Each structure stands twice: as structure tokens, then as C-alpha cells.
Structure 1
């Protein structure tokens, strides 16, 4: 009985050591320097143990994303009944995290990993809440009339996340107020047909 139970316990411990080592090494060293050999050494396991469960380092990174091992931000999008306020509350800590050295380096590494491993890209936006959580909040806004019927909520979530990635990859620092203004322009209320546009940024707090 004891021997029968020891296998799964050892496997769980090895899995945890491997994923922890992968997450730590990706943050510390980046995607280009991440190797199966280095992960195995840091985790205290043989390479064959890793390859028994994962086909590549990209598959390991994808599972780390799925496990929520990278981001020290809360991905939940609240629902106070005010869409833009909720989006500002959700995005502000994400943007500030991505303005840190760790955050920028990590996202660069994850984007590089996504070019080689489809699973990384599949889980990357969801790690920030940009897929299911943001789309759910946008659907709620459609249901309450804050957004018009037929709003492409999934595509809008991807657009916000795509703009966020572009900001990180193309600039030294994200201009947080300007990015929030962009989100306000994309998702803020629109005047009815024939009504004039209201001057000012829709993303500014009340």
C-alpha cells in the first residue's frame, strides 16, 4: 500500500519542482536562455522526467500560464455597474506591473515563446483576464445597455490585449493615462444617431 501511494506523491512533487523552476528561470533569464537542461538541473530531476510529461519548453511555459504562475496581478474584472470604472480598476495594476522591469521582461519572453508554441499564445491573454473575464464583463455591459446590442465582445477583448502587448513591445514605458483613454474611446458610451459627440475623454474618472 505504501509503495503504491508513493508514486503519485513523488510525481506531484516532481511536477511542482519542474513548473516552479520553469517559471523562475523564465523570469530570471528569459525565453532565449531557457532550456530543458537548465530546468531539469534547477528542479533536481532528469531530462527524461520532463520529456515524459512535456514535449518542449514551450509546453512547460504554457502549463505555467495555465496554472497562473507568472503574474502578480488580480485578473478579475469587477462589476460595479460602471463599465469604464471597472475597466480602469482592472487595467491599472496590470499596466503598472508591465511597467516594471520584471513585467516587461516577462511579457517579452512570453510573446517570444508564443511564436514557437501555440499553447502559450492560447493561454497568454487569459492569464490577464483578457479573454473570458473581460468578455464576460462586456457581455454584462451589453445586457444592461452600457454597450449596444451586437457589440463584438470577444474581438474587443482581444483588441485591448493586443494594444497592451504593442505598447510593451514598442515603447520603453506604457503611458498609463493615455492607454486608459484609449480603452475609454473604444468602450465608452456612444451618442445616439443625430446627437453630437460630447467633448472630453470618456476614460477620465468622474
Structure 2
């Protein structure tokens, strides 16, 4: 099987946030300066929560590489702009009024795609189709509650949802109500 990408690590300074990201089309109308885009992602698109999660975990999750496309000597971040912005902000947190320590990360894991149209197709599948079904509200609530009961902090739970307190209430309800799994009946058993 031929892969459309190669996994590698790229220096943070060589990663460029994608100014044409569809996420920006909704609300962003600022400048194309990277620091302005970082600020927008931090405070409008919840990347600030990612900065806290990275500091709390004491790592950038290597199992969540950015998806990039190389142009000249730079890598355009086509998917993972919020994570990239979080790491960039942690290099100088005071610049973005973040009450976090400086957290230096020199290299980030990426998947470098060789074909831009293949990368864009993959992103569309990730973000617009049901191919990768997201957790529903109850599933999120149960997971948040389980993690909270096992000692996870509220801040770390914002990785699942920005308002984990609401999910803890819902999850505690579902943990008290013991829902029995539905027993499926084969169709041919119905007509005997």
C-alpha cells in the first residue's frame, strides 16, 4: 500500500498556520500576521484549552500529528492549526496573556502529504462526514465522569469538552442508572 504521506518531525519555526483554513472563514477577519491568528485561535477557537492540556500532560501528543503540505521550505498546517497555535503560544505565553509557564517544544510530529488534493480530501472526510463519528453528548458525559472520578482535574477534562462540569452532572446520573444493554433478536426468531 502506497501512503500519501510521510511521518516526520518538523521544527516549530518551519510550521506556518494556514491562513486559508475554513475555520477562519466563519469569524476571523483580522490580519494575516501569525501572532494575530494564534491569538484568534487561542481565544475564539478554544486553543487556550489546548495550551493548558499540553502543560498538564507535559507533552505534545505524538499520536496526534499535524497534517501538513510543504511549500518551498515551510510546512503549511492544513489540519491541526489549533494544536500548532497552542504550541506556538507556549513559546512566549506572556505575549498572549496566558498564565502558564513557558513550555518549549522544538519539533512537532507531522504527516507530510505529497499531494495537496489528497490531503484536502482526507481533511474533508475527517471534518464533514460520518466516517469518523464523534461522541454524542451522553458518551462524552460518561467518559468525563469516569475520568473525574479517577482523579483527573477539571482543566484536563476540557480536552473532551469546554464545559466539563455539565458533563459530570450528566455522567453521574447515567452511572447511577444502570442501563441494561439491549438484547437483539434475530429477525427469523420473530416469525416462528
TM-score of Structure 1 vs Structure 2, range by shorter chain: under 0.3
TM-score of the aligned structures, taking structure 1 as reference length: 0.25
- Give me the TM-score of the superposition, normalised by structure 2: 0.26
- Larger relative contact order (C-alpha < 8 A, sep ≥ 6)? 2
